Structure 1
Amino acid sequence: MTIDIGIVGAGNRGETHAGEYADVDGAEVVAVADIDEQAAEALAGAVGGTAYGDYRDMLDDADLDAIDVCVHNNLHRPVTVDAADAGCHVFCEKPMAATYTDAKAMMEATEEAGVHLGVQNHELFSDETRAAKTLRDEGKLGDPYFARGVFSRRRGRPYVDGYGTPSFVRKESAGGGPVIDIGTYVVGRLLHLLGNEPVERVSGATFEHTEDTYDTDLVGDNRDQYIERLAESGYDVEDSGMGFARLADGSLLSLRAAWHMFLPDDSDVLAGTKGGVQFDPFEFYTTSGDYQATISLDLEEYERRQALFEGDTGYDFERSIGQYHHWIDTITGAAEEVVPTGEIALNSMLVMEGIYLSQEAGRELTREEIAERSESTAIDV
């Protein structure tokens, strides 16, 4: 069975997703849509598909099983809803949307249409995440109750620091900065390992100190170029954000996400009642008798042994561990265990938008308050 896919958005993410599908048996990109018709034609030519200037024309004309959404965050909702109405499964680039309201509408539209909704998060399928999940499932962590997620750069603001496009740093297109741009990876991974328990309360704060970093001692002789890029970018999002989410089972998740912050990046961690893990480098913390034990696991060897054991069943282990393979197997029903990337992403939106709304309110907010205060920022196309 071959799943015919249409990609919406022929930029960097669309090119990346198309390249991933090229390595997935049973997946074929047959159409590409982008308002930049030249870009659509270039990517469609590369994959051997048909180009469209409007994704709605693609939905009407191409015989698609699924679409892959690779446009700006505030466009995710309308494209997903239209695709669901057309009976297409949807795979969406992260974050799920710019607000919880829009993400929830996407989930409701796909559920009503009876199609699958997947959201890109490669961390859900990493060696480290799978190893931590195995330790959890085997009971070696006991009951997980605390998780810390960190994705922090010293200097890595899109466009302003020399890479990417201005759309990444404008609320009108992105909805926010690092909290939803890179924070979504670690929040999703840790919610997954905490059983994707419902979010109950969120507190947080965001900071923006871009102009303060253009002292010549910090940026040297390139100060004028940075200031010029900042002016061109329309930068109006945060540089960094931090927050805490209390989950329904009493566990706690913390997040620090920054494009620019004078601190080192730190590893994600997960702690339970019987053991804990650090992800980078991967270490398992426990006790043996009266001794504290720190165990470094050989993840490559672990994967090889799992492949050997799974090979006896005829199941293709290597296929099962990639997110694009997993997405296609989810659609076809071949996945032995479905990772609910859409549900995890929706729960993540409560954490991430909760941080923004907590900053505005100056206090911790309940799940109900976040949902009530969340407003659609989707762009009507």
Structure 2
Amino acid sequence: MTIDIGIVGAGNRGQQHAGEYETVEGATVAAVADIDEEAATELAEAHGASVYGDFRDMLEDAALDAVSVCVHNNLHRPVTVAAAEAGCHVFCEKPLAATYTDAKAMADACEAAGVELGVQNVELFTPETRAARTLIDDGKLGDPYYARGVFSRRRGRPYIDGYGTPSFVSKDASGGGPVIDIGTYVLGQLLYLLGNAPVERVGGSTFEHTADAYDEELVGDREVYGERLAESGYDVEDAGVGFAHLEDGSLLSLRAAWHMFLPDEPSVVAGSQGGLQIDPFEFYTTTADYEATVSLDLDEFERRQGLLGSETGYDVEGESQFAHWIDTLEGDAEAPIPTGELALNSMLVMEGIYLAQEAGRELTAEEIADRSESSAVEL
């Protein structure tokens, strides 16, 4: 069985998706669509695919099984809905959308069409996440009730600090800053480890000091800094912190920052009988009344599991998120990770942080859904 895939968006993410599919047995990049037809042609030729200037023409003409959505966040909804209505499974770049309203519409469209919705989150497929889930499933943590996720940089604002494109720091294109850009990784990971219980309420705050944060030692030439600020129209947060109470009584906290003068910290999960730190991986328990911090040999576990699951005994590499997606579509994934459901729940938390900041108080899941407005660009 071969899964014919269309790539929507021939930029950096589209190139990455196409390259990943080339390494997955059973996946073929059959078509590429982008309004930048030169970029689309270059990517299509690199993979022997058909090229289209309009993704709708691709959906109508190319007889695809699935689509990878690799465009700006505020374009995810129209592309995903159109693909679902055309009968295509959808694998979407993170985050699922720029607002919860748009993310929910995407999930609903895929459900109504009977197609799978997958969302990119590499953190769900790391050896550390697999080790954490293995310990949780084996009961080593007891009842997990708290998780802390951190993805924080001291200097790492896209475009302003010299990498990436202005769209990263434009609310019209992205929907937000680090909370939605990098926070989505750890939220999806930790919701997965906590069991992805429904969100009950969310609180949080965001901070933006880029406009008055010039420091020659940090960002270099003032004129260049000013030009980048002006050109990008920087209007998103530099940092955000928040928390989500889940309906099962557990609590999840998040700190996501592109520019914050604090160290990065490992994400953690605590349970009634044990706890763990994800990277570097440590397991916290007691034995014979001693408090114990246990290191696990993740590499050896992965090698052994690869050997046990290999027909030849030599294919010992861990499954990538793209291989997992194709396995899911082919019905070969033993326990598919619900990346779409995790991304939708994550979106509720992320927009909840923004809306709680505006409201000056915690908001219930129902209030977040009611206050969320579509920011999708009509195509």
TM-score between both structures, scaled by the size of structure 2: 0.98
The yes-or-no answer on 1:306 pairing with 2:305 is yes
The letter of the residue matching 1:50 is: S
Contact 2:275 2:283 in 1 (8 A): yes
SS in structure 1 opposite 2:38? Answer: helix
Contact 1:319 1:326 in 2 (8 A): no
Over the residues paired in the alignment, what is the CA RMSD in angstroms?
1.4
The letter of the residue matching 2:260 is: M
Counterpart pick for 1:362 among 356, 360, 363: 360
Cα 1:318–1:342 change in 2 (3 A) is: farther
What is the Cα deviation at residue 320 of structure 1?
A: 6.6
Q: Deviations over 1:196-230 (max 9, x none)?
A: 0101000000000002221335435x222111111
Alpha-carbon distance in structure 1 between the residues aligned to 2:13 and 2:217: 35
Alpha-carbon distance in structure 2 between the residues aligned to 1:83 and 1:65: 10
Cα 1:316–1:377 change in 2 (3 A) is: farther
Where do 5+ consecutive residues of structure 1 fail to align? none
1:104 alignment counterpart: 104
Contact 1:24 1:324 in 2 (8 A): yes
The yes-or-no answer on 1:125 pairing with 2:125 is yes
Alpha-carbon distance in structure 2 between the residues aligned to 1:33 and 1:20: 17
TM-score between both structures, scaled by the size of structure 1: 0.97
2:286 alignment counterpart: 287
Alpha-carbon distance in structure 1 between the residues aligned to 2:235 and 2:224: 18
Contact 1:310 1:316 in 2 (8 A): no
Matches within 5 A, 1:1-381: 1-220=1-220, 222-311=221-310, 321-381=319-379
The letter of the residue matching 2:74 is: N
The letter of the residue matching 1:111 is: E
Cα 1:125–1:252 change in 2 (3 A) is: same
Q: Deviations over 1:92-126 (max 9, x none)?
A: 00000000100000010000000000000010111
Q: Answer with 300-309 or 108-117: which moved more.
A: 300-309
Alpha-carbon distance in structure 2 between the residues aligned to 1:215 and 1:25: 49
Where do 5+ consecutive residues of structure 2 fail to align? none
What is the Cα deviation at residue 152 of structure 1?
A: 0.5
SS in structure 1 opposite 2:309? Answer: helix
What is the Cα deviation at residue 79 of structure 1?
A: 0.3
SS in structure 2 opposite 1:264? Answer: coil
Cα 1:301–1:315 change in 2 (3 A) is: closer
Contact 2:205 2:357 in 1 (8 A): yes
Alpha-carbon distance in structure 2 between the residues aligned to 1:205 and 1:176: 13
Q: Deviations over 1:311-361 (max 9, x none)?
A: 48x899857721100100111111111100000000000100000000000
Percent sequence identity is 73
Alpha-carbon distance in structure 1 between the residues aligned to 2:146 and 2:316: 31
Q: Deviations over 1:36-86 (max 9, x none)?
A: 010000100111101111000100110100000000000000000000000
